[in-house]
Amino acid sequence: MSFGRKFKEYLLDSRIDFDLVEHRRTGSSSQTAQAAHIPGDRLAKAVVLQHDDGYVLAVVPSTHRVELGTLERTLGCKLNIATEAEVGRVFGDCVLGAVPPAGPAYDLKTLVDEELDKQPDVYFESGDHRTLVHVTGDGFRQLMAEAQHAQFSHHV
């Protein structure tokens, strides 16, 4: 098990109760939900987006797709999906593709889709491809208290 260093500090500083769910290595968030035996709507997927002034983190259920146009209107700027190289630079202490939803730990503005606010439990990447962090819905809302909450995704 491997936590991103910044994420681990952020999570421990939050004083939120959590437990870890180990699973086999997977190649996508839907495969991760299956491997961990959890509903995909409860697995938070963090998507790194690039804009002229840097990056933002959009957090949606793994069963959803980010609506870039909606986010662009919400933020008032043009957005693009960050490249793997960009994600690697921003989340250098995490395994590529295993981005935790803790944007503030990486000095990123974070937006959380309101669908996640409705979940009784939420799971998310720890910074590797084999370990998920599990928190209660209240714990997740507390962890994401600094984030902007809006509806900007749709179920796929």
Report the CATH number that the domain containing residue 54 is assigned in CATH.
3.90.960.10
Average pLDDT over residues 113-118: 97
Quickly state the pLDDT bin for 27 (edges 50, 70, 90). confident
Amino acid, res. 90: V
Q: What average pLDDT does this structure show over 74-80?
A: 97
Residue 53 belongs to what domain range?
5-155
CB of 29 within 8 A of CB of 45?
yes
* Alpha-carbon 117 to chain mean position: 13
Question: How many separate domains does the chain show?
Answer: 1
